[in-house]
Structure 1
């Protein structure tokens, strides 16, 4: 049986964000669970400025890294030392994400089973006030010469790991953490832990297939491997169904989380997987519409429509259920302090209920001028709307560093997505439009795009007309 190896990694960096900051020192300690079998460390030229605060913390200066190798010059050594080993770090997400980012810049995908000594330490040494590396070093009496230098911190982490591995009942805990929390008893018969480890740690849509090859479940994640593992980590009603029916897994990488959300929504409607339920809705027969009353107030109302009567309404949003429309309107009504009578939620005459509790300014009894009321009502309408009033592209990250995802919104609705090479983008909207593969839009896709744009700062919105870039 092949001996299990642990590659304990520590990095010093120019900051805390892998997408923006760079590595300035790396150390790898290879450990077999009982003793150290190899070590490696090197300063790295980050090809950028080393901030003063980082120098104060680590002692690493600009002069020290000036003649050091660049990351691509040590990349092969990193691959060789961590290959077939479990990647270990104290707060593994930090170190692992920096290495994945560096390899990504070189055009390679870096993927390893990994283990976090912060999480392990919480289980192995309960009751400590802090599980930072510095506190564990003090609490466990570990000797360290140079804190915040990569090799010394990696050696300290290796000693922490050794003590954990020597502790009682820790072997199963380590195994479960390495296996992403998967409980093998919950896995479908045809799936293995190794098979799940082989899945990409990237953004996209994944498909669970039954023995016939039919899709029984569709999901999306920014980390496909991690999300699939979560399905088999704990007992649940959905997990039991997956265990019974799943025979194989496939996936499609998207790079962009927005594209993953849109593709997942489309695929659930197209395939109607039996284990998916929430997003299988295809019809949106209930609407919120607007009109102006005789006194000049902008009013909202809820109605049921069909192909024959929908043209008579000024529709701003559509819903699969009447309750969804009323609840959404009710929430926005309260947010903008609108009149519940003018929103069609409390028919009748006189002052509405919200006026009596001082959440309506009195439009229902003529106390608030229409101009003042309509200003808030228009803002509420914009929030309610599932129809875009402009044509535009959304440019987001692609499946590789050289690629960008393109999402098209035209004539009020989502029209599809595609991918373009960054170097080939010529600034013309026609080029971007030709890259888009058509997909049907609906109120759900509009809300997906609206929510994504409200939360994401890294995407670029480009008008459909004029120069694109």
Structure 2
């Protein structure tokens, strides 16, 4: 059975990225699948410059929008027109993301079941040379008075949807797409499609519970609803376990993807969910440990060790690959001019190491350096081996709502915890930043998560811990 109401939406914007550009016109057609029920359109003042290229494409000029209502003035009408309807657009990701971003700036979470007529038309009318709206308008013989204006394009999309829905087989495709590819029979008995659609499309951590309320799986996603839908649409062994055991779903919105990664890691270690077995396998099987030889010299070694052997070692740092452990140890050896043989980086147990002959080792291996002098440098090297980050800093990332920031603390070379702070609270004393932090234990996995995130987003704001005052 097909859904009864559709809100077909088209937007004109100042550019192609929802995070940077703004809406300049909105058009909505309310439709029942057979006929138009209502329409709405309005120019929108973007409170920014309308690029010349956009004016050339749409005909919308700066003068046309300067006295138009701002988005907050049309927001209520958009909510009312689309409430309870399926949100439809030609390339729905574009229009839906722009509206979600605009509402987010207002502090409102805009969430609708949605449907893409690009995907639908590919399935309904295979073999066409192009599925752009312009080409489909020509193919349908539809008369569009003003292409690239919001209401006219929305009306054309509504006609396209009507023709698609005229075929019963296509109605099944619509239901499948709206339900994110999930067959309701695959959902847990206590979790129907309405609950699925009520899940947030936000970044965070989610918890899947069994009938006794116990957590059986923990995951993270930048879009919780989409990720959970994928779990139940899959036909993998893990998906089968979820479908059999999950009774309820809870979640925690984090805003920041890094916070979601860190919280997920913490919760898996804390809760030991049975379906997270793959993530509970040790990801850091290699390590650098320290020992003292018979002469009293401090030695280091990069090696692999299972859980039983680890208990007998003084572990300094852990790594996902042996090469990472060995290379890190070798860099530290070079920096502190330690002996390659005492660092187990050169075979043999006696006689001068190679680096002694090229004057890069002070001669502990050749009885030319005292235990005291060598161990002084070796202890200093240990600090570097156990320290991942060379500086202490607060890292600022996206919060859970407008005006809020996520704060991650890296101190003494390691992750210390995270929290949230209003942007207004950032100005002034560093105490505000530190007070926002909830302590969490750092480990090699959290270190790697932060390193990877910083590599992906190198321009995130870092505030050195030693800073006396903060300005935002």
Shorter-chain-normalised TM-score: which range?
Answer: 0.7 to 0.9
Across the aligned residues of Structure 1 and Structure 2, the Cα RMSD in angstroms comes to 3.2
Cα deviation digits, residues 226-278 of structure 1 (max 9, x gap): 11111111211011111111100000110100000000000000000000023
Contact kept, 8 Å, 1:269 with 1:279, in 2: the verdict is no
Contact kept, 8 Å, 1:326 with 1:345, in 2: the verdict is no
Report what 1:97 is aligned to. Answer: 97
Instruction: Give the match's secondary structure for 2:169.
Output: coil
Contact kept, 8 Å, 1:403 with 1:420, in 2: the verdict is yes
Structure 1 residues 457 and 46, CA gap change in structure 2 (3 angstroms): farther
Contact kept, 8 Å, 2:100 with 2:110, in 1: the verdict is yes
Measure the CA separation in 1 of the matches of 2:45 and 2:222.
30
Measure the CA separation in 2 of the matches of 1:145 and 1:283.
60
Contact kept, 8 Å, 2:117 with 2:157, in 1: the verdict is yes
- Alpha-carbon shift at residue 70 of structure 1 (Å): 0.8
Instruction: Give yes or no for the alignment of 1:250 onto 2:272.
Output: no
Measure the CA separation in 2 of the matches of 1:134 and 1:204.
38
Report what 1:430 is aligned to. Answer: 431
Measure the CA separation in 1 of the matches of 2:113 and 2:7.
10
- Alpha-carbon shift at residue 56 of structure 1 (Å): 0.9
- Aligned match of 1:468 in 447, 467, 470? 470
Report what 2:86 is aligned to. Answer: 86
Measure the CA separation in 2 of the matches of 1:137 and 1:447.
50
Report what 1:29 is aligned to. Answer: 29
Report what 1:295 is aligned to. Answer: none
Report what 2:376 is aligned to. Answer: none
Report what 2:390 is aligned to. Answer: 389
Report what 2:295 is aligned to. Answer: none
Query: What pairs with 1:51-450 in structure 2 (closer than 5 Å)?
Result: 51-280=51-280, 286-288=286-288, 301-302=302-303, 304=305, 306=310, 309-310=313-314, 315=316, 317-319=317-319, 324-326=320-322, 328=324, 387-450=388-451
- Alpha-carbon shift at residue 125 of structure 1 (Å): 1.2
- Alpha-carbon shift at residue 137 of structure 1 (Å): 1.7
Measure the CA separation in 1 of the matches of 2:182 and 2:327.
40
Instruction: Give the match's secondary structure for 2:145.
Output: coil
Contact kept, 8 Å, 1:256 with 1:405, in 2: the verdict is yes
Measure the CA separation in 1 of the matches of 2:325 and 2:276.
27
- Alpha-carbon shift at residue 209 of structure 1 (Å): 0.5
TM-score, normalised relative to structure 1: 0.83
Measure the CA separation in 1 of the matches of 2:170 and 2:80.
28
- Alpha-carbon shift at residue 40 of structure 1 (Å): 0.7
Report what 2:374 is aligned to. Answer: none
Q: Which moved more, 1:132-141 or 1:428-437?
A: 132-141
- Alpha-carbon shift at residue 331 of structure 1 (Å): 9.9
Which sections of structure 2, spanning at least 5 residues, go unmatched? 291-299, 335-339, 349-353, 362-384
Structure 1 residues 330 and 189, CA gap change in structure 2 (3 angstroms): farther
Aligned length: 424
Q: Which runs of 4+ in 1 moved over 4 A?
A: 281-285, 303-309, 327-333, 342-349, 368-371
Contact kept, 8 Å, 1:415 with 1:439, in 2: the verdict is yes
Instruction: Give the match's secondary structure for 1:169.
Output: helix
